[in-house]
Amino acid sequence: MRNLLNLIYRYHFSLLFLLLETVAVSMGVRYNLYQKAKFVGFTENIAAFFNESVSSFTDYFHLVETNRRLSLENTMLRNQLQRVYRSDELFFFSEHDTIHRQKYFFTSARVISNTVTRMHNYLTLDKGRDQGIEPDMGVICPEGIVGVTTGVTGNFTSVLSVLNLNFHVSAKLKKNDYFGTISWDGQDYRTVILSEIPYHVDVSPGDTVVTSGYSSLFPEGIPIGTVIEAHVENGNFYHIRVRLFTDFRHLTYVDVIRNLQKEEQQKLRQE
């Protein structure tokens, strides 16, 4: 017994290290293997508060760029509006047809922290549960997709970025509707990988990739990017590199998507 105590005393430094390191590594492994455990709480709020202060300052540097983008988007929306009003058919639908009712609802939010250099990148938004945001909602920006909400507190939301090894979303080729999965390989913040497209499909550089609408997160046809290169891997499926439309270095305002029929859709799938 005395010897044991002596031994513990002699190696207490390394023993304590092993103990603490086991705790830390097991946390890290769990974090790596599963999606970020919904670990948002008091401490997250403090971090978000700091990030918001920093962001409210640094936003000034991006004002010119942000204004330019907003004005571009305005023009685009105005054009769409024109088209809707001119098309008698669409106007008719929204007036009388209860089947074509609104399915998605968008909430604008500001990005207060964002990374692109890690393997598991996250964004933080300045809106949360009090503003109607819930976990597992899609997030987009005018250019394309951004990510999925994971943890939500009263006034902040953390978003699993497309640039995260845990991110997967169903996507399709715009020209022929063949669908596959978009994921990130951790290599370059400007490109993602589209997989599971069968080898007989015609794919060429420049093709547009959009969301498929099969998941309840994103509406169909949200732009993702364009094909840069495609080659067949392991005989059956393409390995397609896609250049993202979204510029993750310049994200200021994003839209969070509420799918009004999500519960209905998921209920059906479970049955």
**What is the C-alpha separation between 197 and 177, in angstroms, rounded?**
10
Nearer to other proteins, 111 or 256 (CB): 111
Q: Measured between alpha carbons, how far is 150 from 134 in angstroms, rounded to an integer?
A: 8
Looking at the Cβ atoms of 27 and 81, the one nearer to other proteins is 27
Considering beta carbons, is residue 43 or 204 the nearer one to other proteins?
Answer: 43
Among residues 43 and 102, whose Cβ is nearest to other proteins?
Answer: 43
In whole angstroms, the minimum distance from the beta carbon of 202 to other proteins comes to: 30
Minimum distance of other proteins from residue 230's CB (angstroms): 20
Q: Rounded to the nearest whole angstrom, what is the least distance from the CB of residue 26 to other proteins in the complex?
A: 7
Give least dist CB 112 to other proteins, A: 11
- Written as six digits, the tokens of 236 are 């059956």
Name 125's bridge partners.
111, 157
| Least distance in angstroms from the C-beta of 118 to other proteins | 7
Q: Between the CA of residue 172 and those of 77, 204, 211, 227, 247, what are the distances in Å?
A: 24, 14, 6, 11, 20
CA neighbor of 143 nearest in space, from 260, 255, 60, 227? 255
Nearer to other proteins (CB atom), residue 7 or residue 76: 7
Q: How far is CA 122 from CA 99, 175, 179, 248, in A?
A: 37, 31, 26, 11
List, as one string, the DSSP characters of 53-90.
HHHHHHGGGGHHHHHHHHHHHHHHHHHHHHHHHH-HHH
Q: Which is nearer to other proteins, 188 or 263 (CB)?
A: 188
What is the nearest approach in angstroms of other proteins to the Cβ of residue 169?
20
Task: Please state, in angstroms and rounded to a whole number, the distance separating the CA atoms of residues 149 and 138.
Answer: 7
Length, in residues, of the chain: 271
Q: Which residues bind other proteins (CB under 8 A)?
A: 12-14, 16-17, 20-21, 23-32, 36-37, 39, 43-44, 46-47, 50, 54, 58, 113, 115-120, 122, 124, 158, 165, 185-189, 249
Alpha-carbon distance of 96 to 89, in angstroms, equals 11
The burial class, CB within 10 Å (0-12 / 13-18 / 19+), for 242 is buried
User: Which one, 199 or 253, has the nearer CB to other proteins?
Assistant: 253
The minimum distance between CB 135 and other proteins, in angstroms, equals 15
Tokens encoding 216: 């309840």
